[in-house]
């Protein structure tokens, strides 16, 4: 919006932006307000009826929720790490080297990304039970990693392509092995891309419900989205709505914090990827 825009145009923009923000934030505000109500106020049809942190006390004194939170963090973090390391190496090869089967790998990766998770979750359930991965961390890490790899590879290779090849050659002449050149020159320069890809992978793993719900059965590996479905509240006679709302707020916070921290890098990353993707 430059100075050449008329006042009227600016007002229209402002209204548009407000509508979008309102539309996007209303569920978040709602669930936050819900999480702050006492159990007997849940049905009072008021948007706001005082602060009470009872629901938060309840979920944080609940072992199931704590275990789920740890599972979620651990599984998402490990899946992200493995996915990014593998994707970085694959993206590097795809953007720098000419080799037989490159096109097949690229289209294969795309095919994986297009595959609806629901279509394989049933057979995965049987396979995991047979080989003992059911209800374990690796049992979730593997599908998360698999489903996020294509996205990470595409994002990262767009970034790697932007890096002038001469830099790598300069490093080689300077005495670096190919791996040193990759680690010390290419990856640091593609840092925005690495952040972008990491966050996208993390969010996928953090938010997933289908795999988490199907492939787990106990606190051993159940993540927060799945655990929420089994939430009972403080006692089985109470409606767990308030507690579910509080838990939902708790799982949203890490994502918001992460995105806020890396916001500038992500924006730079998404646009850079967009131009050359």
Partner 1 sequence: MADIVLDKVTKRYPDGYEAVREMSLTIEDGEFVILVGPSGCGKSTALRMIAGLEDISEGELRIGDNVVNDKAPRDRDIAMVFQNYALYPHMTVRENMGFALKLAKTDKGEIDKKVTEAAKILDLEQHLDRRPANLSGGQRQRVAMGRAIVRDPAAFLMDEPLSNLDAKLRVQMRTEVSRIQKNLGTTTVYVTHDQTEAMTLGDRVAVMRSGLLQQVGSPMELYNNPKNLFVAGFIGSPAMNFMPAKLEGDTLKLPMADVRLSDELRGAASGGGEGKQLIAGIRPEDFEDSSLVGEAAHRGATFKSKIDLVESMGSELYVHFTTSSDEKIESEELRELAEDAGAGEVPGGGQEGQIVARLDPTSKATQGEEIELWLDSTKIKLFDPSDGRSLTATGDTDGQPAATEGQGPAGRDPASEPDEQRSE
Residue number with CB closer to partner 1 (2 or 164): 164
Given candidates 180, 239, 263, 271, which one binds partner 1 under the rule CB under 8 A?
A: 180
Token look-up 């996205």 returns: 151
**C-beta of 88: minimal distance to partner 1 in Å?**
16
50 binds partner 1, rule: CB under 8 A: no
164 binds partner 1, rule: CB under 8 A: yes
268 binds partner 1, rule: CB under 8 A: no
Token readout for 188 is 């640091």
Which of 137, 141, 148, 144 has the alpha carbon at shortest distance from 90?
148
172 binds partner 1, rule: CB under 8 A: yes
Token readout for 4 is 């050449």
Given candidates 107, 169, 217, 263, which one binds partner 1 under the rule CB under 8 A?
A: 169
Which of 262, 150, 249, 148 has the alpha carbon at shortest distance from 204?
148
Q: CA torsion, points 186, 188, 190, 193, in degrees to nearest 10?
A: 140
User: Which one of 51-59, 83-91, 133-141, 160-168 is the stretch in contact with partner 1 (CB under 8 A)?
Assistant: 160-168
175 binds partner 1, rule: CB under 8 A: yes
Q: What is the DSSP letter of 218?
A: S
Give the Å distances, CA to CA, from 136 to 65, 110, 133, 220, 248. 17, 28, 6, 6, 23
Task: Give the number of other Cβ atoms within 10 Å of residue 227's Cβ.
Answer: 25
Token look-up 């430059």 returns: 2
Q: How many residues bind partner 1 (CB under 8 A)?
A: 17
167 binds partner 1, rule: CB under 8 A: yes
The secondary element (H helix, E strand) that includes residue 159 is helix 137-162
- Residue list 58-87, contact with partner 1 (CB under 8 A): none
185 binds partner 1, rule: CB under 8 A: yes
173 binds partner 1, rule: CB under 8 A: yes
Calpha distance 9→150 (Å, rounded): 41
- Residue list 188-217, contact with partner 1 (CB under 8 A): 188-189
156 binds partner 1, rule: CB under 8 A: no
Residue number with CB closer to partner 1 (172 or 252): 172
Q: What is the DSSP string of 26-54?
A: HHHHHHHHHHTS-GGGTTS--S------H
Residue number with CB closer to partner 1 (70 or 170): 170
Residue number with CB closer to partner 1 (38 or 265): 265
Residues at the site binding partner 1, with contacts judged by CB under 8 A: 164, 166-167, 169-177, 180, 184-185, 188-189
């Amino acid at each position: 919006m430059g100075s050449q825009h008329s006042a009227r145009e600016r007002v229209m923009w402002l209204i548009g932006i407000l509508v979008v923000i309102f539309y996007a934030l209303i569920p978040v505000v709602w669930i936050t307000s819900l999480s702050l109500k006492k159990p007997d106020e849940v049905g009072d049809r008021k948007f706001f009826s005082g602060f009470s942190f009872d629901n938060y006390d309840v979920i944080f004194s609940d072992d199931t929720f704590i275990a789920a939170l740890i599972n979620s963090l651990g599984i998402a973090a490990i899946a992200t790490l493995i996915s990014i390391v593998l994707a970085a190496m694959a993206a590097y090869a795809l953007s720098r080297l000419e080799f037989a089967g490159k096109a097949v790998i690229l289209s294969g990766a795309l095919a994986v990304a297009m595959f609806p998770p629901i279509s394989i979750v049933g057979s995965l359930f049987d396979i995991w039970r047979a080989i003992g991965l059911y209800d374990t961390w690796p049992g979730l890490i593997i599908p998360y990693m698999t489903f996020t790899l294509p996205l990470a590879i595409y994002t990262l290779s767009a970034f790697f392509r932007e890096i002038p090849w001469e830099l790598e050659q300069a490093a080689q002449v300077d005495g670096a092995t190919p791996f040193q050149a990759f680690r010390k020159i290419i990856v640091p320069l593609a840092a925005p891309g690495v952040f972008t890809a990491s966050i996208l992978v993390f969010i996928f793993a953090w938010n997933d419900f289908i795999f988490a719900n199907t492939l787990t059965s106990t606190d051993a590996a159940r993540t927060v989205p799945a655990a929420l479905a089994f939430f009972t509240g403080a006692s089985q006679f109470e409606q767990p709505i308030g507690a579910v709302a509080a838990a939902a707020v708790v799982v949203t916070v890490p994502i918001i914090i992460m995105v806020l921290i890396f916001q500038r890098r992500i924006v730079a990353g998404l646009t850079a990827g967009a131009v050359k993707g």
